[in-house]
Amino acid sequence: MYTIEAIQEKVKQSFGEQNFMDEPKLLYEPISYTLEDGGKRLRPVLLLAACDLFDGDCNQALNAAIGIEIFHNFTLLHDDIMDKSAMRRGKETVYKRWNENIAILSGDTMFAMAYRYFLKTPHSNLHQILDVFTETAIDVCNGQQYDMDFETQSDVSLTEYLTMISKKTAVLLAGALKIGSLYANCSETDREHLYEFGINIGLAFQLQDDLLDSFGDEKTFGKPIGTDIKDNKKTFLYLKALEQASTEERNRLCKWFSETLTDNTEKIKSVLSIYDKLDIKGITEKEIENYFSKGLQELEMINTENDKKEPLRRFVNQLLGRKY
């Protein structure tokens, strides 16, 4: 059984051994640029941890772990174009460093590369593994479209928002876990518990990301605070504030979120002031805890030894900044 630290080292070493450069240079240089800065490598670590949870061979699942991380980074290239994001992980996004056309084509190539990595290692469950990956990829695209729809939709509900982030963010974590478990040939029941564990942890993770965008530390977060407010994103914080606000506060929020400004200093300050008054930070933290607890309940229902679940428990605690 591996520790999470050992799995993280395995992922780091494996990526270090890959060469993503090829010709034409302007197609592959942005791919290498994107993948050289690993970020958390959350999805490949979860995939291998799920495989190890059921005593599977992590080496068999390693190419799939690389593939799912390439896919995740492909989505970021395209998301940054759609969101007009200039920074990612503390450095320029691909479309800003090169241009939109290069970012689109490099992203398309990464999607194809992801499948190539999945196909590198034969496995008896490969057809099912690719089915899960394909459905996950489609769900992520569905989630991104909902996200874009919400930009012009005035009556987004909290339920709709949670469905969107479930598809855009949580399904990729859940899919990684399910794929890892397929490499280990575990039961279908355990796979589904693991998938639901991933969905709930993914929702908690995204809500925390929403929270950090408004209340985090800019240096730690890797991008400017208040970006969601500036971009009029209808996040959990905004939708919950509308729910809790007085008529006057609701009108002010709706006014701010209908404007696109050159200087957003006053806008961000005013919206955060309303959030503070309504304790949106505290409400969001409770919701994060709720999904986190649901996720752990699903993990507990998996039919394997308790000590084998410990690395995943510890890892998700660390991800959400909890002392464990």
Tokens of 101: 């056309």
Going from the C-alpha of 281 to that of each of 122, 214, 286, 312, the distances in angstroms are 47, 9, 9, 27
Q: Does residue 150 fall inside a structural domain? A: yes
Percent of the chain with pLDDT over 70: 98
Tokens of 42: 């959350």
Tokens of 155: 């009556």
Radius of gyration in angstroms for the set of CA atoms belonging to the chain, rounded to a whole number: 20
| pLDDT tens readout for residues 272-288 | 999 999 999 999 999 99
Place of tokens 């394997």: 304
| pLDDT tens readout for residues 81-116 | 998 889 888 899 999 999 999 999 999 999 999 999
Element (H, E) at 87: strand 87-88
Asked whether the predicted pLDDT for residue 59 surpasses 70, the reply is yes
Q: Does residue 204 fall inside a structural domain? A: yes
Average pLDDT (144-160) is 93
Looking at 2-16, 30-44, 296-310, which range is the least confident one? 30-44
Q: Does residue 324 fall inside a structural domain? A: no
Q: Quick one: which of 299, 275, 270, 300 has its CA closest to 285?
A: 275
Average pLDDT (31-57) is 94
Tokens of 54: 């059921």
Query: Are 317 and 288 within 8 A, CB to CB?
Result: no
Query: How high is the pLDDT of residue 1?
Result: 87
Q: Quick one: which of 133, 128, 129, 210 has its CA closest to 164?
A: 210
Asked whether the predicted pLDDT for residue 38 surpasses 90, the reply is no
DSSP β-bridge partners for residue 92: 87
Query: Are 173 and 201 within 8 A, CB to CB?
Result: yes
- The three-state secondary structure class of 23 is coil
Asked whether the predicted pLDDT for residue 235 surpasses 50, the reply is yes
Q: Quick one: which of 51, 66, 191, 67 has its CA closest to 137?
A: 67
DSSP state of 125: T
- The structural domain count of the chain equals 1
Query: Are 49 and 311 within 8 A, CB to CB?
Result: yes
Tokens of 205: 């993770």
Q: Does residue 59 fall inside a structural domain? A: yes
Place of tokens 């039919």: 303
> Which domain range does residue 298 map to?
4-319
Asked whether the predicted pLDDT for residue 323 surpasses 90, the reply is no
> Cα(95)–Cα(102) distance, rounded to whole angstroms?
7
Q: Does residue 192 fall inside a structural domain? A: yes
Q: How many residues does the chain have?
A: 324
Average pLDDT (283-312) is 96
Average pLDDT (220-225) is 70
Confidence bin at 37 (pLDDT 50/70/90):
confident
Name residue 204's amino acid.
A
Query: How high is the pLDDT of residue 324?
Result: 41
Count of beta carbons in the 10 Å neighbourhood of residue 320: 17
DSSP β-bridge partners for residue 88: 91
DSSP string, 248-271: HHHHHHHHHTT---S--HHHHHHH
Instruction: Output the domain CATH number for residue 271.
Output: 1.10.600.10
Q: Quick one: which of 310, 309, 317 has its CA closest to 205?
A: 317
Longest distance between any two alpha carbons in the chain, whole Å: 61
> Cα(57)–Cα(53) distance, rounded to whole angstroms?
10
DSSP state of 88: E
Q: Does residue 38 fall inside a structural domain? A: yes
Query: How high is the pLDDT of residue 193?
Result: 98
Query: How high is the pLDDT of residue 322?
Result: 65
Contacts of 67 (CB under 8 A, 6+ apart): 113, 114, 115, 116, 117, 118, 133
- Averaged pLDDT score across all residues of the chain: 95
